[in-house]
Amino acid sequence: MRSKRLALAAILMASSVVTPALAQSFPTRPVTMVLPFGPGGATDAIGRTVAEQMSKGLGQPVVVDNRAGAGGEIAASAVAKAPADGYTIFFATVSTLVVLPLTKPKLSYDVTKDFVPVGLVAQSPNLLLISPRVPANSMKELIAYAKENPGKLNFASSGNGTITHLIGEMFKLQAGIDAIHVPYRTGVQAFTELTEGQIHFSFDTIVWSLPQVRAGKLKSFGITSAQRSKIAPEIPTVAEQGLPGFEGMTWYAIMAPANTPADALARLRKELAAALGDPAVIEKVKGFGAEAQYGGQAEYDAMLSKDMTKWSRVIKEGNIKVQ
């Protein structure tokens, strides 16, 4: 009897050692990170930087899969329907988590039911970009010109139901102007038309647009952050030029399918936090015009709630719909 008790105790001790080891077995194969936009933009650049650093901590490759289209819905839907095992994650943006759910009633995914946050990744301001062909040299002149030519100006975005679309609509409302929305897959794709004057203005990420402004290829009259950016302190905020309270930030988060196992989720969160705390990653993301900072469940929930309230108001007042 004593020998049986000893044997049972040995088995229990062994199981207590093996269980944590099994919990640490994730991942045993590559993880796929799905991005909602094509290569070349800030989302792609930041996503790839984070994926590369997370690969080091996970001990497995984090493979980037660009699935552009439908304002990010294609990518989001693919991840929502993926197996909830931690091996497919979503590099989401405010566009896919806030704007699309507010503007598209028959969305193929539910933000609150289909996803769980791995964590917030970064925030980035956008620049108000103006074609050199537009006869305006300040935001005041741009607004005056638009009012003198109602309905004749247009503005580009990185797609229907994206944050750059909503920022443009908010600008129209607060400035009291009329302009036609022209969606692209990424802001970079609108560059040629913007420089040549077929597109008159846009709001887009600072990462690719600031060099064009400093090279004189585009004009910029404002930045959408609440305070001036350290990256471009010479550019005043939109708010300080007569549109008080104007703020439109692009933010990024990594999401996993709902019901992802707790051990896999914990490991992903650990490696994401570690990646965003790495000085080299912080500097690299800063070079893409964003501030890298990990945020957990509470920070994500607060950000989501704040922007849901803000952008739902813009959508209602602007009568915005995305087909």
Q: Residue 144: phi, psi to the nearest 5?
A: -65, -40
Same CATH fold assignment for domains 30-123+249-318 and 126-241: yes
Segment 275-280 shows an average pLDDT of: 98
The domain 30-123+249-318 is placed in CATH, from the list 1.10.760.10, 2.130.10.10, 3.30.980.10, 3.40.190.150, at 3.40.190.150
Segment 19-24 shows an average pLDDT of: 44
What span, in angstroms and rounded, lies between the C-alpha atoms of 156 and 238? 18
pLDDT value at residue 88: 98
Tens of pLDDT, residues 111-144: 999 999 999 999 999 999 999 999 999 999 999 9
pLDDT value at residue 188: 74
What span, in angstroms and rounded, lies between the C-alpha atoms of 50 and 254? 10
| CATH architecture label of 126-241 | 3-Layer(aba) Sandwich (3.40)
What span, in angstroms and rounded, lies between the C-alpha atoms of 30 and 50? 15
Ordered by start, the domain boundaries in the chain are 30-123+249-318, 126-241
For residue 197, CA distances in Å to 69, 126, 128, 210, 317 come to 25, 20, 15, 18, 29
Tens of pLDDT, residues 160-171: 777 888 999 999
Tens of pLDDT, residues 190-205: 888 999 999 999 998 8
- Going by C-alpha positions, the residue among 289, 245, 239 that lies closest to residue 123 is 289
pTM attached to this predicted model = 0.79
27 preceded by a cis bond (ω within 30 of 0): yes
Of the pLDDT bands very low, low, confident and very high (cuts 50, 70, 90), residue 28 is very high
